[in-house]
Structure 1
Amino acid sequence: MNDRAPAPGGLALIESLVNTLSVDTGADALDTEDGRAAFGLGEADVPAARKLREALRAACLAHAGHTAPGHHPSDLNRILAGAPLRVRVDGAGAATLHPATEADGLTSRVAAAIAEAAAEGTWLRLKACEAEDCLWAYYDRSPGGRSRWCSMAVCGSRAKMRAYRARRVG
């Protein structure tokens, strides 16, 4: 649904994971072998990945000033607690965060991406569309960081048309 460019850096991983579920159709890419392979997941990893996805969606909705029914952004804290990170300093003295375990699981990669984005000041710009039948994740590149829909041409137009019709009826 999103006609925007992918999120920068590690946020692209998070955006892709959140967008594995099409809320309007119910299609879940994690149900397919190719969808799981895109994230290095096996079938046994899917329930945890879905919990992570919905916790990330709740955080993206919170970034846009909305709530996710049945989910809270703090759900992400519990999930990420199991993904410890380590600081690595390179030869030039630059510090980066990496998963603490050698097994680079999805949760650890997401935790590292969030830490990187928070340090760069971009984490709060990863949002979820305001449209209840969409909730697609997108990166808000607007100057004021106040965009509301993943696509102005689709979700934004629908919302504006609903508001227009409501005003005409009322």
Structure 2
Amino acid sequence: MEQQEDRDPTPPGLRLVRDLINTLDVEAGADALAADGGLAAFAHDHGLTGLGLTKHDVPDVVRLREGLRAACLAHTGARVPEGTAAELAALLRRAPLTVTVDEEGAASLEPADVPPGAAALTARIAAAVAAAAGDGTWARLKVCEAHDCRWAYYDRSPAGRRRWCTMAVCGSRAKMRTYRARRSSGGRSPGDGRPPEGDGD
């Protein structure tokens, strides 16, 4: 999993989405939302007070998290499974947004009035996604292609084509697996037989 850097490149609005996805550490098998008070702690850590979140909201928030994980994995070229897309859409429909205009005339989408609980958190997530889709940053929030990682990260590379949270770990492992598979199947990569080098992402 990618280590957080001193200067977080993730736009502030997308940090909430990224951090929700990363409440599940696939590699370690640790789910922060499953811990007693885990959902309330997540909300508190992100300044989301007054949402009325309880342990009964955890299943819906987990479904939201996994739908977002699938959507961000799709930003690396995968497809969102049909059932997952439908479930995510259903969750988002329960959290409508409204257009607001500030004193300078700038328009933005904000959470509409919704019942407290999972829908209130979903509304804030939806507003963040809508804003990021509008400014072009949504597609850069990705999930690592490595099946044993699936960590959410922000792709700040110039071309925006990273596929792993870190080239040094997950990317290198994937390239080595591909190299070994070619060797075992009798195929050989061009060059002198050495493993392929990283692509610098």
- TM-score > 0.5, shorter chain as reference: yes
Aligned length: 170
The alignment status of 1:135 with 2:150, answered yes or no, reads yes
Q: Distance between the aligned counterparts of 1:74 and 1:84, measured in 2?
A: 16
Match in the other structure for 2:192: none
Q: 1:28 aligns with which of 28, 31, 53?
A: 31
Residue 125 of structure 1 contacts residue 140 of structure 1 at CA under 8 Å; is this kept in 2? yes
The two structures have a TM-score, normalised by structure 1, of: 0.90
CA distance in 1, matches of 2:77, 2:17: 19
Match of 1:97 in 2: 109
> Counterparts of 1:38-57 in structure 2 under 5 Å?
38-39=42-43, 41-57=53-69
Q: Which of 113, 123, 145 does residue 160 from structure 2 map onto?
A: 145
TM-score for both structures, normalised by structure 2: 0.77
Indicate the percent of aligned positions where both proteins have the same amino acid.
58
* Aligned position for 2:98: 86
Specify the structure having the higher radius of gyration (Cα): 2
Cα deviation digits, residues 44-94 of structure 1 (max 9, x gap): 110000000011011111111114668533432221111111111111111
The residue type equivalent to 2:70 in the other structure is: A
Alpha-carbon distance in structure 2 between the residues aligned to 1:161 and 1:39: 39
Structure 1: which 5+ residue stretches go unaligned?
Answer: none
Alignment partner, residue 63 of structure 1? 75
1:159 and 1:135 map into 2 onto residues whose CA distance is 13
- Cα 1:71/1:160, change in 2 over 3 Å: farther
- Do 1:56 and 1:73's aligned partners in 2 also have CA atoms closer than 8 Å? no
Write the letter of the residue equivalent to 1:91.
E
| RMSD value, Cα | 2.0
Unaligned runs of at least 5 residues, structure 2 = 45-52, 187-201
